[in-house]
Structure 1
């Protein structure tokens, strides 16, 4: 099932994680989640200013956040496109690297691990997960721990950064 994911990576800021690693992580996570259809998603690593603008525009919250997910499957267009192309359009994940960096530092984690944590959170949202209450949040966090465990060997590599 190698190569079932088209990942579009937009780097508005530097990333400690290489593109090939991002691709591998998302493929592992999708397999762990039982996604077998050819699919497509985009990941944008950006600034606090950019994510604040998106947060204000789409969530009406005028503040930066760590991760936003825009699920394509919330509209009927991706379903129609999938019928034509055979590719499942998942959507877009946007991560603020400065916010991720601050969170990683506060938790004593590597930035690459925090970015993986946020990306896995965004992916779950693209696949329909949500956390409107404490129980669903706990389930989602458990799933994120499971996804990070699936890439643990990669996370032990520094990706050129210090802890």
Structure 2
């Protein structure tokens, strides 16, 4: 990857909301109030302080419901049930880009079920906006190569997610 650790990342974030479920009006207003582009830009800049990221990158975020995410989960993971977040990285290995390559690197796609996010927010007793921050950071880290095959790596990933969310300066936990 062409990298510049510590410099601001130039990113394009594409957000598609095709949710047709029945979140409460309050939860829907929280979803509509989220500055998704600002969140992801902040997180990419935050991560770029400590890891190598491409200087120019793109990713997409799709907000949907349980029915559609279950179809994706079944099609791509052979699991026939809804899930909270899916991430489809565009590259699976470190990529060495030629110096003359000027196009942004497409990191991949994140899909979040607002139905599941709403249920999980209620279970965790926090606003749906907080749950969406957790799911978004989780998806982004998967796009960037993180995984959690065991409990230790999951705990490390969750700790990094918490730092990323804190970096927004609008969330408090505990």
* TM-score, normalised relative to structure 1: 0.84
Gaps of 5+ in 1: 157-163
Matches within 5 A, 1:1-163: 4-13=10-19, 16-18=30-32, 21-34=35-48, 35=53, 37-74=55-92, 84-153=101-170, 155=171
Which structure dedicates a bigger proportion of its chain to helix? Answer: 1
Structure 2 unmatched runs, 5+: 1-6, 20-27
The TM-score normalised by the length of structure 2 is: 0.79
* Aligned-residue CA RMSD (Å): 2.6
Alpha-carbon distance in 2 for matches of 1:92, 1:47: 16
- Aligned structure 1 segments of 4 or more residues deviating by more than 3 angstroms: 17-20, 78-85
Larger Rg: 2
Q: 1:98-137 CA distances to partner (integer Å, 9 max, x unpaired)?
A: 0000000111111111011100000000000000011111
Count of paired positions? 154
Cα distance between partner residues in 2 of 1:28 and 1:138: 22
CA gap 1:75/1:135 in 2 versus in 1, 3 angstroms: closer
